[in-house]
Structure 1
Amino acid sequence: MNYLNHRNIRALKGILRGSFLGHPTILKNLPFILYLTTLAIIQIWAAHRAESNVRMISKKTIEINELESQYLESKSILMKMEQESSVQMRAKKLGLISLAKAPITIQKPNDD
């Protein structure tokens, strides 16, 4: 039992010191390990970038919805202001009155 503990401790010390890095199998596969590490870093960067794009898109969607509601509100207010009764009421405040009869049309004489 004591032998196993001593052996495990020695293996753990070797791992912590990094002595396994000089092993020929590790050195042979080092380019592949670096390639996998690079791919992992690129994947993490791409995931982070995608999440930030999703957040930006959701903010823009909320902003578009708010602007659309403001547009619809302004449009309805303008439509109410364009109604004949609203125009007459505003004209009355200015001292203008509407005609009871239809306006007279002026026709231009023909130059024949």
Structure 2
Amino acid sequence: MAENSDRLRLTSVLRGTFLGHPYVVRNLPFVGFLSALGVLAIFWAHQAEQQSRQISKLSAELSEIKSEYLEAKSTLMLLGTESSVRERTQLMGMVPPTKAPERIIQPKDEAE
């Protein structure tokens, strides 16, 4: 007898006749609500994964830009040293002065 009732349940599921049962019809709004929650959970998980990938990509780009900045900064510091400036000016034909600069003093009565 139990085998017969199991067979009835299986055939009602396969044929879809169980969908007309009042208990199932009464709980359809709740099933729809749970389905909507499931879809929202999947959507937000996808969004979080996408944000995670974007953050990882931007972090890699930021580290690359930082290294470029440090390289440019060290190059500029090297170019600004006195010996480097002296070498570049000598290539242009300029030589450093041999005597110290003179100070120009303006008399106070001419200042006004």
User: TM-score band (shorter)?
Assistant: 0.7 to 0.9
Equivalent position to 2:61, from 55, 60, 63 = 63
Code of the aligned partner of 1:73: E
Unaligned runs of at least 5 residues, structure 2: none
Matched residues, number: 110
Say which SS state the counterpart of residue 106 (structure 1) adopts.
coil
Q: Which of 84, 96, 112 pairs up with 1:86?
A: 84
**TM-score, normalised by the number of residues in structure 2:** 0.86
Tell me how large the CA RMSD over aligned residues is: 2.0
Confirm whether residue 20 of structure 1 aligns to residue 36 of structure 2.
no
- Once residues 109 and 9 of structure 1 are traced to their aligned partners in structure 2, the CA distance between those partners, rounded to angstroms, is 121
The answer to whether the aligner puts 1:44 opposite 2:42 as a matched pair is yes
- 1:51-92 Cα deviation digits (max 9, x unpaired): 000000010000000000000000000000000000000001
Distance 2:58 2:107 in 1: 60
Could you tell me how far 1:109 is from its partner in structure 2? Answer: 4.5
TM-score by length of 1: 0.86
Judged with a 3 Å threshold, the aligned counterparts in structure 2 of structure 1 residues 43 and 87 are, in CA distance, closer, same or farther, namely same
SS of the residue 2:103 aligns to:
coil
Structure 1, unpaired ranges of 5+: none
Measured after TM superposition, the shift of residue 47 of structure 1 is 0.5
